[in-house]
Amino acid sequence: MKSVYNLPKEEKFGSFGGLARLVVNYLIRGSLGLKDELIPVYRVDDRTVAKLTDPHRVAEAEALRLVRAKTSIPVPEVYAAYTDTKTNRGVILMEYIEGQSYARSTAPSSVLFDGTYCEDPVFCAELGGFGPYKTEAEFNEGLIRAMNLSQKNTWVDHATRLVRALPKHKIVLTHADFSPRNILIRGDKVVAILDWEMAGFYPAYWEYIKAMYHPDWQSGWIKNGAVEKILRPYHLEHAVLLHMQEIVF
């Protein structure tokens, strides 16, 4: 499978292209960082945030544009995407949306919501490049390659047979990091799905198994079945990929 975007080295969108150049060095100092973010996100003004990231992840902007244009999923509008060669940092300037992450909210955990290369960490960059793949069978061989690069033993041999026995699936646009921290809510309404840097076209089961990837098993997200109320469950595929998860990590 492959990512949904091409990698832009630099782009300009109206006045925001110039703004990106002006703010990047200031933002790196961290004076306006939003708290508790795994990736630095900065409030620029009342309607704009800037996300600093690795240069190859600036292309998340293309995923956001695609989702915004082709689906009804609420995502921030992208104003500009930019790679600064002097600092080797990427910047995505996007719409600020007022809300609170579901992970920090007091909403009931049983809530039912309405309606290039593989960037997924399963394909660890330290193990070498993976994809893009033309077919699901090729994708499965990529999973097998990741296991064999991590270790070689009879467990891997058995897991290889399990992966090759998986049924075929449709290839669909996938967020690939769907979790409470990436769901922005305001009141009882979902106002945005954030962090599309891992997005790509994957087999239909991938969204579910990634939502179940190293979760807090005692959280309401899992205990009350929130994941399975939002996403179609793929229990067989999850069982198989649990083996791979343990082998690779």
Q: In this structure, what CATH number is given to the domain that contains residue 214?
A: 3.90.1200.10
Distance CA 241, CA 123 (A): 13
Q: Residue 214's pLDDT band (boundaries 50, 70, 90)?
A: confident
* 136 and 225 both lie in a single domain: yes
Residue 198, token pair as written in the block: 């891992």
Count: domains in the chain: 2
Say if residue 168's pLDDT is above 70.
yes
Q: How many helices and strands, by DSSP H and E, does the chain display?
A: 8, 10
Compute the distance between CA of residue 92 and CA of residue 14 in angstroms, rounded to an integer.
14
What's the pLDDT tens digit per position in 47-91? 988 888 888 888 899 999 999 999 999 999 999 887 877 778 888
Residue 166 predicted with pLDDT over 80:
yes
Domain boundary among 96, 116, 142: 96
CA distances from 237 to 135, 161, 164, 208 (A): 17, 13, 11, 9
Domain of residue 147 covers: 125-248
**In the predicted structure, residue 35 carries a pLDDT above the cut 70:** no
Same-domain status, 88 and 150: no
Find out whether 58 and 83 touch, Cβ atoms under 8 Å.
Answer: yes
Q: Average pLDDT of 128-146?
A: 87
Q: CB under 8 Å to 57, separation ≥6 — which residues?
A: 90, 119, 197
Q: Residues with Cβ < 8 Å from 60, sequence gap 6 or more?
A: 5, 51, 53, 81, 92, 195, 196, 197, 199
- From CA 33, how far away is CA 220, in angstroms rounded? 29
Nearest CA among 7, 129, 33 for reference residue 41: 33
In a shared domain, residues 133 and 230: yes
Give the pLDDT score at 191: 95
Same domain, 167 and 64: no
Contact 83, 8 (CB under 8 A): yes
In which order are the strands placed within the sheet that holds 100-101? 100-101, 183-186, 189-193
Question: Peptide bond before 121: cis, by omega within 30 degrees of 0?
Answer: no
Whether 32 and 76 map to the same domain: the answer is: yes
